[in-house]
């Protein structure tokens, strides 16, 4: 059986002497074991970095409309579920759709169809559905047409002349983000531990400018190993005799 110290030394030899080897911050869905000194960013800071700043370079790309729209809807749904006291796993309530109408008054009378066409269509099939299954009656029901368009500054509206929705991706995204940031406590609020926001922890020994890593299965052992690896790397860089 290899000891923990031997494992760390083997890691140093095989991995850490590579000049391109870096150790990114750790992104968790809950607090880590209290083993390492770490710095924690706020949920609002992370929201801005992940969903606002990271998409900023795409704002003038005409083909990025689907990206902005498909990012906006999960953020909006979390916010609306919390605002409407409609927890995950429950059917969307009348209050949920009333809040949609309040935020987007131009589609108030078509708010349920709007949600079906955009949220369900894009997040389930990456397109706009033409029909929906009406389970109670066992039939398919036609839906209004839906489109992305930058020709109108309104976030989203329904045009009776063509019988369809038009959504401006940037305006819609900005409207959703502004609504959330103005009421961030509502967005951050959770109905259960299953839906806690991700948390970013940076090792204080980590290098600046490292891209965050998500989905890392963090355990006490991997934290210890990561800390040992970073410390070894710092030694390697500062003292040529340790290489």
Is residue 171 located within the same domain as residue 62? yes
Section 187-214 average pLDDT: 65
User: Based on the domain organization, do 83 and 193 belong to the same domain?
Assistant: yes
Residues 21 and 57 in one domain: no
* Choice among 25-34, 49-58, 72-81, 198-207 with the minimum mean pLDDT: 25-34
The model carries a pTM of: 0.71
Contact in structure between 176 and 119 (CB atoms under 8 Å): no
Residues 139 and 224 in one domain: no
Domain boundaries, position 176: 42-197
Looking at the structure, tell me whether residues 32 and 64 fall in a common domain. Answer: no
CA atoms within 13 A on the CB side of 208: 0
Kindly compute the dihedral angle of the four CA atoms of residues 102, 103, 108, 112, in this order, to the nearest 10 degrees: -110
**Residue environment code for 137-166, b if the CB has 16+ CB neighbours within 10 A, otherwise e:** eeeeeebbebebeeeeebbbbbeeeeebbb
| pLDDT score of 210 | 56
17 lies in the same domain as 108: no
Report the chain's mean pLDDT, rounded to a whole number: 77
190 and 102 in a common domain: yes
Are 29 and 108 found together in one domain? no
* pLDDT exceeds cutoff 60 at 39: no
pLDDT tens per residue across span 12-29: 444 444 444 444 454 544
Least confident of 81-90, 183-192, 213-222: 213-222
Q: How many domains does the chain have?
A: 2
Provide the 8-state DSSP code for 208: T
The pLDDT tens digits of the residues spanning 200-210 come to 665 544 555 55
């Amino acid at each position: 059986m290899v000891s923990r110290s031997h494992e760390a030394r083997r890691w140093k030899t095989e991995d850490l002497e590579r000049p391109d080897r870096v150790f990114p911050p750790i992104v968790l869905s809950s607090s880590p074991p209290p083993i390492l000194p770490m710095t924690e960013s706020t949920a609002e800071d992370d929201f801005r970095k992940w969903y606002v700043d990271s998409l900023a370079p795409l704002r003038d790309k005409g083909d990025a409309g689907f990206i902005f729209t498909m990012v906006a809807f999960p953020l909006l749904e979390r916010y609306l579920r919390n605002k409407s006291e409609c927890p995950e796993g429950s059917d969307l309530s009348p209050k949920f759709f009333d809040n949609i109408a309040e935020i987007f008054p131009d589609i108030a009378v078509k708010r349920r169809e709007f949600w079906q066409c955009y949220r369900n269509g894009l997040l389930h099939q990456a397109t706009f559905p033409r029909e929906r299954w009406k389970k109670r009656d066992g039939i398919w029901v036609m839906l209004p047409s839906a489109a992305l368009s930058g020709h109108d500054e309104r976030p989203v509206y329904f045009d009776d002349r063509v019988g369809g929705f038009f959504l401006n991706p940037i305006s819609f995204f900005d409207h959703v983000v502004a609504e959330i940031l103005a009421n961030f406590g509502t967005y951050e609020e959770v109905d259960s531990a299953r839906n806690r926001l991700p948390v970013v922890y940076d090792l204080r020994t980590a290098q600046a400018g490292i891209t965050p890593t998500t989905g890392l299965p963090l355990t006490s052992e991997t934290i210890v190993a990561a800390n040992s690896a970073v410390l070894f790397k710092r030694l390697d860089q500062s003292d040529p005799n340790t290489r």
